[in-house]
Amino acid sequence: MNLTLKVWRQKNATDHGRIETYEARSIPAEASFLEMLDIVNERLIEGGGEPIHFDHDCREGICGMCSLTINGVPHSKERGITTCQVHMRKFRDGDTIWIEPFRARAFPVVRDLVVDRTAFDRIVAAGGFISVRTGSAQDANALPVPKDDADASFAAAACIGCGACVAACKNASAMLFVGAKAAHLNLLPQGKPEQDKRVLAMVRQMDAEGFGGCTNQYECEAVCPKEISADVIAKLNRDYTAAAVKEAVC
Amino acid sequence: MASNGSPLHSAVPSGPLADKWTKHKNESKLINPANKRKYSVIVVGSGLAGGSAAATLSELGYQVKCFCYQDSPRRAHSIAAQGGINAAKNYQNDGDSVYRLFYDTIKGGDFRAREANVYRLAEVSANIIDQCVAQGVPFAREYGGLLDNRSFGGAQVSRTFYAAGQTGQQLLIGCYQALSKEIARGGVKMYSRTEMLDLVLVDGHAKGIIVRDLVTGEISRHAADCVILATGGYGNVFYLSTNAMGCNVMAAFRAHKRGAYFANPCYTQIHPTCIPVSGDYQSKLTLMSESLRNDGRVWAPKKKEDAEAIRTGRKIAADIAEDDRDYFLERKYPSFGNLAPRDVSSRSAKEACDEGRGVAPTGLGVYLDFRDAIQRLGRNTIEARYGNLFQMYEKIAGTDPYTSPMMIYPAVHYTMGGLWVDYNLMSNIPGLHVLGEANFSDHGANRLGASALMQGLADGYFVIPATLPNYLAGQKPGTVKTDDPAFAEAEEAARARIHQLLSVNGKRTVDSFHRELGMLVWDKCGMARNEPGLKEALARIPAIREEFWSNVRVPGEGANLNAELEKAGRVADFIDFAELMCHDALNREESCGGHFREEYQFTEADDDVKSGYTNPGEAKRRDDAFCHVSAWESAGPGNTPILHIEPLAFEAVKLSVRSYK
Ligand SMILES: Cc1cc2nc3c(=O)[nH]c(=O)nc-3n(C[C@H](O)[C@H](O)[C@H](O)COP(=O)(O)OP(=O)(O)OC[C@H]3O[C@@H](n4cnc5c(N)ncnc54)[C@H](O)[C@@H]3O)c2cc1C
Ligand code: FES
């Protein structure tokens, strides 16, 4: 198939950046979206140009590295997948495709389609963990966890930290990401002792990083490749309020 | 073949196998808490092995610097592991024990692993599960709230812990959270998007690394009291593999060039159940978890004509009558059936396709069929067990595995070879320790499913914290600084190499070289190898190298994010590494595990075949000549590497012909 690509090019963080147009000819329909970009890049290089930079690694929807906004939607309009799982057979011959980075104030562009998402790492470092020193654990089956709790925790833990939720939100809010991490840990008995400290610290770090507030648009849930439910946001709000009240009383 | 180098000392403690690790820990050196913080440790890699080591060493009080090439430590390739992690918990009461896990792993590795290391791995496996659960890793549970298990290849017990098809992700997130906690506390300084370009040796000891900041291109020096490499495997030497795109051999190979021995590079694992190749635009292959073989049945048509009809679209799987189907794993290995180990299963699939019975359009593919399981258990159960994997298959292959069988073919997946390490996980270079897939120690010539995650976490959480003081206690902390001339030399060399890559300015892309190399090694050093083929590869690799360095095109500058430059550095090392791999494969004149030399296989003339113990065509080891580890020393560019041998002594198990009948 033949396509026209409108691609965001930006040399580095300080460059202004602009959309450039590329013709992608004879693309096999079985190729993935990123393989299509590989083909375009190889031709660019052979022609003396500079390839389009984009993040990727596992190419099977689990590492969270790939991060393209395709025709205005993070990871494309297809539900429940990452950019690397988009296949060209979903497009039509002659289509024009707009390819832009995940945009948000807290995700500055590094180059072309590559953005800096280290803000997420700092939020996790603020409290997204259970403090257990290696070697100090009891037998794994000493603490049974009801299957429903374990399953709910797992559903939240499926987050791959890609940042599509932020890129889709008009406020660039990170509530789905933070809510997912908090729910994963707070739903487990192991996570209870640090629950209050965790939610207070993570939410404060989120604010400090410049993410916006949540105004219940649910765009985040719609683009999440792991289909994490916005219920985790409601839970985060409850957990946060409870912790803030306790903190105020103490 | 005799070695031309000096023998190796594995530092395995004396005494009965089951007591060795406890004895070793008791006799290991200790560093008191006040002194630990004076020591600094460099950890390259933030996967399960590196991440768990960095977090634990920091908890113990060492000052740790950790490096990874991704934008976050959470994205290391370990994240992609699907199926599960083994542990000898015997929660199922099905007769499992430390000894059985040890024995399955040794046998699975075709008796080419070091007994003491494997026993230790089985011994600490149970602690790993405890640790991960305490961190909040959401493993699958039964209705009573206790942990669930499943079976994996090469075992007759259920000892695999899992979190749907995302076990690696959940384990790595647990590890990443532990690491994040230590980063916040100030014990670990994390360097993401940073690539190690070289190892720095001072007076023969590993004391630092040279790195490149992948965003700014800045090259810098880092000194420490020791260096730990946990940089993963080299499967991408084949270009197409199930590994993440960035997986590479650079860090290990740079260390090799600085004197570290590379052990058993020819031991590579070809995983039987991957989505077949469909075209030359393809950038990677996708694994379908081995757990699928718990319920899926592998088959190919008995008749070539049926296979031909399927390939050309005249028939579909459902048209093939039950009697005309060859469930070849069940037929050949009745006691393990579809759960035969990977090397054995892969070769059987290749055999069926070589006979013209392949069903994919390219001829390279067999069926993995869930029809019977769906009939027996119902669609809902199958969906609960494998839903996400079925979905993944459908997205890529475009057909629905609930209604028509999956098509699968073997693909490069894992590398058992790696830098040589002793029982302390220290290489032959004092101070250089190697963990996880990057070392060679525990899987012999074939790794069993669900044991790489176990090994990575065993190495990082439990082994290295106990063994590192054996080296560090003999070192005065903080003596080496980055103004040592050795750093200046290594930095200069790294800069010169980048300059060279950027200035060739030829006509061919980096990927085109990588594809060419990959095709060659897949063809000559893949699932089956022989002497003429390996010699041909060894003759052709130097030509690829020469053309690479005179005709590669790496656009852009060094002082910027430059993905082509990163790839070029990795591919340059893959070219040199491929040569080493072929040397090793040629030298090992036997078949064992993933290393199948066509000249060495069982035939009708062998007693073990006559007695029905094994099948003709199975791998034939030569214990008299090759019951050893081959560790290669670099002899400089263009020279044949020097072979060092570590004999493998088996005290607790009896060497036997590996049979899964
Ligand atoms: C698709 C797939 C599924 C799998 N499923 C299973 C399974 O179910 N069970 C199982 O037991 N095993 C499985 N495996 C194998 C297992 O996942 C790996 O062997 C294991 O995770 C490797 O861990 P590691 O920590 O050694 O390396 P990795 O996780 O590969 O980490 C390597 C680290 O090193 C860093 N690095 C590499 N080079 C450099 C450099 N030059 N400079 C700086 N940093 C560098 C990377 O950034 C990364 O952080 C699977 C593998 C694949 C490919
Ligand atoms: S590249 Fe890993 S999720 Fe897309």
CATH, residue B641: 1.20.58.100
| CB under 8 A, 24+ apart: contacts of B100-105 | B100/B157, B101/B125, B101/B159, B103/B653, B104/B154, B104/B155, B104/B448, B105/B442, B105/B443, B105/B448, B105/B451
Ligand that lies nearest to the alpha carbon of residue A37, given by its number in the listed order: 2
B84 CA to middle of ligand 1, Å? Answer: 14
pLDDT score recorded for residue B1: 44
**Between A22 and B278, residue with greater pLDDT:** A22
SS3 A5: strand
Q: Do A136 and B134 touch (CB under 8 A)?
A: yes
Q: Which residue of A has its CA nearest to B52?
A: A134
To which H or E segment does residue B630 belong? strand B628-633
Q: What φ, ψ does residue B590 adopt, rounded to 5°?
A: -160, 170
Answer for the pair B145, A145: CB distance below 8 angstroms, yes or no. Answer: yes
Single out the residue of A177, A160, A183 nearest to residue A211, CA to CA: A177
Residues 6+ apart with CB under 8 A from B63: B37, B39, B40, B41, B187, B189
Q: What is residue B168's predicted lDDT score, i.e. its pLDDT?
A: 97
- The Cα A112–Cα A37 span in angstroms is 13
> What is the B75 CA–ligand 1 centroid distance (Å)?
10
Residue B483: pLDDT over 50:
yes
Q: Which residues of A touch B176 (CB under 8 A)?
A: 124
Percent of chain B with pLDDT over 90: 91
Instruction: State which of B169, B188, B437 you would mutate to test the pocket of ligand 1, scoring each by most atoms of that ligand within 8 A of its C-beta.
Output: B437
pLDDT digits (tens, 9 = 90+) for B358-372: 999 999 999 999 999
Span from the CA of A203 to the centroid of ligand 2 (angstroms): 26
Contact A58 B79 (CB under 8 A): yes
Asked if B177 lies within 8 A of A128 by C-beta distance, the reply is yes
For residue B222 the two structure tokens come to: 């880092």
Q: Which ligand is nearest to the CA of B210?
A: 1
B197 contact partners, CB below 8 Å, separation of at least 6: B209, B210, B211, B212, B219, B250, B254, B494, B497, B569
Which protein residue's CA is at the shortest distance from atom 53 of ligand 1?
B243
Q: Which residues have a Cβ under 8 Å from the Cβ of B651 and sit 6 or more positions away?
A: B17, B115
Is B216 inside a domain boundary?
Answer: no
Domain-embedded: residue B250: no
* Domain range for B339: 271-413
Residue B85 domain-assigned?
A: no
Tell whether B423 is covered by a domain: no
Question: How far apart, in Å, are the Cα atoms of B35 and each of A86, B30, B191, B469, B480?
Answer: 53, 10, 25, 11, 17
Which among A9, A57, A76, A133 is the top mutation candidate for probing chain B, defined by the most B β-carbons within 10 Å of its own β-carbon? A57
As beta bridge partners, residue B426 has B433
Check if A62 has its Cβ closer than 6 Å to any atom of ligand 2. Answer: yes
Number of domain units in chain B: 2
**A31 C-alpha to ligand 2 centroid (Å):** 15
Q: What is the pLDDT of residues B302-348, one digit of tens each?
A: 999 999 999 999 999 999 999 999 999 999 999 899 999 889 999 99
Is residue B232 assigned to a domain?
no
| Tally of CB atoms within 10 A around B203 | 10
Scanning B336-446, the segments in alpha helix (DSSP H) are: 342-354, 371-377, 379-397
pLDDT at B513 over 90: yes
Structure confidence at residue B539 (pLDDT): 97
pLDDT at B109: 96
Catalytic residue annotation of B: 342
Q: Report if residue B392 sits inside a domain.
A: yes
| Residue with token string 């699939």 | B349
Largest CA distance in chain A: 67
**Distance between CA B497 and CA B545 in Å, rounded?**
14
Q: Does domain A3-111 have CATH number 3.40.640.10?
A: no
Q: Residue A125 and residue B183: Cβ atoms within 8 Å?
A: yes
CB contacts, 8 Å: B139 with chain A? 150
Which of B436, B650, B458, B469 has its CA nearest to residue B26?
A: B469
User: Which A residues, 107 through 136, put their C-beta within 8 Å of a C-beta on chain B?
Assistant: 110-111, 114, 116-118, 120-121, 124-126, 128-136
Nearest-neighbour CA in chain B from A190: distance (Å): 6
Distance, CA of A215 to CA of A169 (rounded, Å): 9
End-to-end CA distance of chain B: 31
**Is the domain of B512 the same as that of B620?**
yes
Pair B517, B607 in one domain = yes
* Domain C-terminal end among B413, B433, B455: B413
Mean pLDDT within B414-425? 98
In angstroms, the CA B352 to CA B328 distance is: 8
For domain A118-249, the question of CATH label 2.40.30.110 is answered with: no
Ligand nearest the Cα atom of residue B169 = 1
Q: How far apart are CA B44 and CA B70, in angstroms?
A: 12
pLDDT tens, position by position, B60-75: 999 999 999 999 999 9
Rounded Cα distance, A22 and A51, in Å: 11
- Asked whether residue B502 falls in the same domain as residue B389, the answer is no
Domain annotation covers residue B363: yes
Residue B652 counted as domain residue: no
Residues B401 and B490 in one domain: no
- Measured between beta carbons, the chain B residues lying within 8 angstroms of A11 are 560
Characterize the bridge pairing of strands A96-101 and A3-9. parallel
Q: How far is B204 from A33, CA to CA, in rounded Å?
A: 48
Say if residue B520 is in the same domain as residue B640.
yes
Instruction: Sort out which chain B residues have CB atoms less than 8 A from A114's CB and list them.
Output: 561
Give which of B444, B424, B442, B441 is closest to B433, Cα–Cα. Answer: B424
pLDDT at B280: 85
| Chain A residues within an 8 Å CB radius of B192 | 118, 121
How remote is the CA of residue B74 from the centroid of ligand 2, in Å?
12
- The tens digit of pLDDT for each residue in B379-405 reads 999 998 888 889 889 988 889 999 999
pLDDT score, position B164:
86
Q: Which residues are near ligand 1 (CB < 6 Å)?
A: B 44-50, 67-70, 76-78, 80-85, 167-168, 195-196, 230-233, 242-243, 247-248, 250-251, 287, 413-414, 436-438, 450-453, 456
Q: Give the distance from residue B660's alpha carbon to the nearest chain A alpha carbon, in angstroms.
A: 32
The CATH number for B335's domain is: 3.90.700.10
Give the start-to-end residue ranges of the domains of chain A: 3-111, 118-249
Condensed to tens digits (0 to 9), the pLDDT of residues B608-653 reads 999 999 999 999 999 999 999 999 999 987 789 999 999 999 999 9
Average pLDDT value for residue range B222-241: 98
Cα B426 to the center of its chain, rounded Å: 18
**CB atoms near residue B580 (< 10 Å):** 23
**Domain boundary residue among B367, B384, B413?**
B413
Instruction: Choose the final residue of a domain: B361, B396, B413.
Output: B413
Residue B26 in tokens: 């008791």
